[in-house]
Each structure stands twice: as structure tokens, then as C-alpha cells.
Amino acid sequence: MTLSSAFTGSGPGDRAELAGDAVRRIVHLAAAIRHQQDVEFAELGLTPAVARALYELDPDLPLPARDLAEQLRCDRSNVTALVDKLEQAGLVERRVDPADRRQKTLLVTGAGRRTRERLHQVMSDSRLLAALTTEEVAMLRELVWKVSDGGCPARCDPE
């Protein structure tokens, strides 16, 4: 509680408190959502990281492993193990790029495509928003959209 907020109805202290409260709640809600998603990934036989790796792959746009690492914002070395598991599960295939034999292109298989569609459903599961009306959901979406608009804040770690 700042001094200004004790005296005014809408000072800068209020903004900070409101926003802080919103941030803490959002993080808390997201943790609950992710926990639920992780359970459903496990039911599909996938660990969370493997599921998210598959989700990042566009079935219609084969990608070198290097780019997948970039999209996942993790080191190249991790991608090897993730793709190993996806390949063992028959969801992805590695193909050497004839144009540059150093590169390996990642192809989503038919089974991979179907699993990926399930993953999209899991990640879009909105049971936890059940308490909101459709109008409120639309509003929430708009606000969160506006927050992360103009250059996706998740990628703003340029160091």
C-alpha cells in the first residue's frame, strides 16, 4: 500500500497494485492450465516437452532442427533428444537435406499430424474458463491479445 493510494481513488499506486494482482493471478491460472495439459499429454504418451516440440512443427512446412530449437527457445542439443522420442513414437521423421547435407529436415508423419491435432485441442481446452460468459471470454481474449501484441513479449529476451 503506497501513500498515494491511501489518499486517491485512482493514483499510480492503484495502477501498480491492480496490475500486480492481475499478474500474480494470471501466472497462477496459467499454472493450473498447464498442469491440466501435462496430464493430458501423459495420456497421449508424451512428456510435456516432447508434446510442445511436436506442436511447434508445421506438418506442411518441414523444418530443420535448428529452427525448431529457435521456436522452442532452447538449445540445439535438446532438440536431438526430443526428436529422438518423436521419431521412436513414429510421429516425426528425420530427412537429410540434399541441398545442405549438414541439415536434417523434420517431417511430421500421418500419425504425427493426427497427434498434433489432439495436442491443439488439449492446448485450447477452456474448461477452466467455464465461469465466464462468452462476452467475458471475448473481452479476456482481446485484453491478453493486446498485451502480447506488437512483438510477442515471450521473445523479448535479446541478450
CB of 42 to its own copies, least distance (A): 13
Identify what 58 binds: its own copies, DNA, none; CB under 5 to 8 Å per kind: none
Q: Is 48 in the site for DNA (CB under 7 A)?
A: yes
Residues in Cβ contact with 147 at an 8 Å cutoff, skipping those fewer than 6 apart: 153
Q: Is 50 in the site for DNA (CB under 7 A)?
A: yes
Piece of 11-19, 42-50, 77-85, 87-95 that binds its own copies (CB under 8 A): 11-19
Q: Is 30 in the site for DNA (CB under 7 A)?
A: no
**Burial of residue 159 (number of CB atoms within 10 Å: 0-12, 13-18, 19+):** exposed
**Complex with its own copies: residue 81 or 147, whichever CB lies closer:** 147
Q: Taking CB under 7 A as the rule, which mask of x and - marks residues 81-110 in contact with DNA?
A: x-xx---------x-----xxxxxx-----
**Complex with its own copies: residue 26 or 96, whichever CB lies closer:** 26
**Complex with DNA: residue 102 or 127, whichever CB lies closer:** 102
Residue 92, beta-bridge partner list? 108
Angstrom distance (rounded) from CA 122 to CA 33: 10
Angstrom distance (rounded) from CA 116 to CA 37: 14
Q: Which helix (H) or strand (E) holds 42?
A: helix 12-43
Identify what 95 binds: DNA, its own copies, none; CB under 5 to 8 Å per kind: none
The CB density around residue 83, as the number of other CB atoms within 10 Å, is 22
